[in-house]
A and B are shown apart, each in its own frame.
Chain A
């Protein structure tokens, strides 16, 4: 069941943007036929003459000093063409670079590609081999002798901050709001957002709930493993074919790591089988380049195994979180405190900063403090994962909010409306909201048939939760070529993960008042258009769509100018309506005009944008669960998501994003976690034991698209890709409480964890488990 709620469409009408021709329709996807027939070329499908196959040797230790590496036996194996180690990388120094996803220390980036002095997690790349087939490459890798000095692993926040904690990075000093510490540490940074008078706020409170939570490391779980092919030509030109969320991000990272100018590297993006933030960092790309160079300028392909993907590519942070919220006698929040300890993995850079923004964002709070700690541990370097950091903190905050509402005897939706953030309220870090749709998403859930329907039966419960994501603008570049037959080639460089070729083409079609089928969108390489940021931050339909809108305006304007010349009138005298140009009694349909205006000179347009005013997204979600009291297993009975989507360009894709985020969030909530042994070995690096939900584990996820148009976009677009993953863990936890009487303070709410919590509650001598319909 899907529905759309229109809010504020009057604004659009006032802007003259109502009554769309293309926007809001559901055309077929341009990549559909290739994908269902198996023709689409993914990164591992790349083939070329003389292709060599690479294999990466990885550390068996979570934390070890590398005393020496002897590659001689591997090099001597017949069929081996090249072996590389960190010694083949240019010397990297501590240097901060912003590569489009936040600042990165170049030394850390280089160390993560091939370990230099130390292996910092189980699976850390240590050496690469290229051979004439993958079997020989694998065999050769096993012949590389690495002399390790194993060191004690540091696996959690508590391990890392202990007084006698082993130090991972010897040069790391805590950056405490710009002040750099003097001691060796595993605490990379600390920050604080505060406003109002926290102490007074808590003193004024009638009721305070103060809880701590733990969440585990989870992986994005994209189905396509990382793969890259590199050709280092004899003339020094380099080409990389890879699966990435951002071809320019790959170019910039590889160029920095290998110290080569960007003009020498072209990155060709292939089709991508999912990314969710995890395909922004490079892993095998620089290794493939080094191997290609060393192997005599032959192309080298490296395809990661599933185990390598789980062990060595970006999971997102596990975390320890404290949330304390006070409310006055009317149920208004009087003060809120959040302390966020995020595990960054082996190098600094957890999403704790974004998490702080998300933390209390759905609520209007005068007195608050949010502290963030970025902590390194012997786990893989964390990468972005769909609304990075948001799910962890929303689980904590929404659990506390639910407990407050319960203790106040208030409906949890009412509590969220009473305290909900509105236009001109401020995010925890102070950013002021323009028009936002948080309240509307709560109201949509509150009024939904789902929320209004009774839930009967023992051990069943219903929970709701809200969430926020800031979204992003970023930089986009695109060109449009007008064909004489009235079609338009749209060249853009935003990786299409969630249907953006369609949603961008639709905006160009809308802007030109032509049919969607007249626009052919394709994703091009880094040599073809100007710089383009990653597909991430829910920015692509918003920002690259804005570029497409501009292209349409430019083409229309130039067509009018040329027609004015042709008709010998002023350009301002040419009008364009319903696909027909006209002036002074003359008229010409678009298709014929496209031919006519190019008789003397071809026509193309280019647009670059860097919009700063991107609209944030909110979502409120409702879930019904049933818990098997004998096994602790949760069945998701029903799920409804309401999300402020701004304006849904292609509603099917928007619903798909909403459902996808919820599906991932449910997995995070109930089963997904990295499991390590005491020595820091990752035990469950397979999709058998890293338990993402299967189709049998999820109900149909019902969607309510709430449309509160973003005022700074011509069609009201807001990012829709991420906020949907923020509320699920909190919503499920709240439903589990209603079903069992147990408030889970950790994720995942796996059968083992829930069973244990139910036993603990029984042992406390608390009341019998609460049946769900009580």
Chain B
């Protein structure tokens, strides 16, 4: 690993200048759990690293009746320990508990997971299920992008040179909202998703009908997929295994995976359906208030 410059700005504007000064060889750093590993393994060559963690806006958690605004560099550990987030967005914890072990969670951020733009990222299908909006800053000012449009290819996203992610904005959960993220890994820890599935539902007041739903699957395409047709197929349908199976079929059809060392095409197609159906079941249970986040945490192997 080569020597690199380290800059730690304290405002968004300073960070924009610092990135611009790096002439294309600068990268923002949050937790560094991907970036530093890539540097050490020689997969990335940089001359400047711009640490964003001293910028208050990137480390802020703001939660109120309008929703949640999460600074892009907030650590998973801070999210896990925030009772207001656990109460309002219990499904988010499915991802923040899965990313790394406890020590890694002290560093790793959802913003970093999104900007690393791995097709197998454990947070992105979940963010898509939660209808998150990405707030971006750069030399040409600020802009927003729906999270499902953020990733463009493996390791690539809509960020232009000099731009960085500032915050993730979650809408306030409507009444009878529930969501879930599940991934399949061969072991019970320390693994990359073979397939991941995020799902959210809004149920009728009696809990018997799905008013709207969002489904997203990971590790089955060059980017995490927003399977809009699966959500559309669920809208207005009664809650039943048959309904969920239809959505699962649509997710399976939408998946266009490759075979690699972590999974095969048939396995991944199949798991897209299985995990979509399982995630929807949990989302419905949560919407009905029949399962707590901590119970679901255990389901995911994280007590």
Contact = CB atoms under 8 A, between A and B. Distances in A.
Interface of A: 135, 138-139, 630-633, 670-671, 675, 683-684, 687-689, 691, 693-694, 696-697, 750-752, 755-756, 759
B261 A683 contact: yes
Interface stretch (B55-63, B144-152, B266-274): B266-274
B13 interface: no
B262 A697 contact: no
Given A135-B1, A684-B261, A750 B186 contact: yes
A756 to B, nearest CB: 7
Contact of B274 (A630, A688, A759): A630
A689 B267 contact: no
A759 B270 CA distance: 11
Nearest to B273: A630
Given A135-B2, A689-B261, A696-B301, A755 B188 contact: no
B301 A752 contact: no
B127 to A, nearest CB: 23
Contacts of A135: 1-3
A671 B187 contact: yes
A671 B270 contact: no
Contacts of A750: 186
B261 A694 contact: no
7 A-B pairs closest in CB distance = A696-B188, A675-B261, A683-B261, A630-B274, A752-B267, A696-B189, A694-B189
Contacts of A755: 267, 270
B184 interface: yes
B215 interface: no
B200 to A, nearest CB: 22
Nearest to A684: B261
A697 B192 contact: no
A691 B186 contact: yes
B205 interface: no
B156 to A, nearest CB: 22
B32 interface: no
B189 to A, nearest CB: 5
A683 B192 CA distance: 14
A723 B194 CA distance: 34
B207 interface: no
15 contacts: A138-B1, A139-B2, A630-B274, A671-B186, A691-B186, A691-B191, A694-B188, A694-B189, A696-B188, A696-B301, A697-B189, A750-B186, A751-B184, A751-B267, A759-B266
B158 interface: no
B190 interface: yes
B166 to A, nearest CB: 30
Contacts of B266: 756, 759
A631 B189 contact: no
Interface string B173-191: 0000000000010111111
B22 to A, nearest CB: 21
Given A630-B274, A688-B191, A751 B186 contact: yes
B1 A694 contact: no
A631 B187 contact: no
B9 interface: no
Contacts of B301: 696
Interface of B: 1-3, 184, 186-192, 194, 260-264, 266-267, 270-271, 274, 301
Contacts of A697: 187-189
A630 B277 CA distance: 11
Given A675-B261, A752-B263, A755-B267, A688 B190 contact: yes
A751 B262 CA distance: 10
Contacts of B191: 688, 691
A3 B279 CA distance: 43
B187 A691 contact: yes
A155 to B, nearest CB: 15
A694 B190 contact: yes
Given A632-B267, A750-B186, 15 more contacts: A135-B1, A631-B184, A633-B184, A688-B191, A689-B192, A691-B186, A691-B191, A694-B188, A696-B188, A697-B187, A751-B186, A755-B267, A755-B270, A756-B267, A759-B266
Contacts of B274: 630-631
Contacts of A756: 264, 266-267
A696 B188 CA distance: 6
Contact of B187 (A138, A684, A696): A696
A1 to B, nearest CB: 23
A139 B189 CA distance: 34
A691 B192 CA distance: 11
A746 to B, nearest CB: 14
A271 to B, nearest CB: 24
A671 B191 CA distance: 12
Nearest to A692: B187
Given A696-B301, A755-B270, A689 B262 contact: yes
A693 B261 contact: no
Given A135-B2, A752-B263, A631 B188 contact: no
B192 A688 contact: yes
Contacts of B262: 689
Contacts of B2: 135, 139
A589 to B, nearest CB: 53
A750 B264 CA distance: 12
A691 B188 CA distance: 11
Contacts of B263: 752
Contacts of A675: 261
B219 to A, nearest CB: 13
Contacts of A671: 186-187
A139 B42 CA distance: 11
Contacts of A683: 260-261
Contacts of B1: 135, 138
A92 B2 CA distance: 38
Given A683-B261, A752-B264, A631 B190 contact: no
B1 to A, nearest CB: 6
Contacts of A693: 187
B266 to A, nearest CB: 7
Contacts of A632: 267
A206 to B, nearest CB: 40
A626 to B, nearest CB: 13
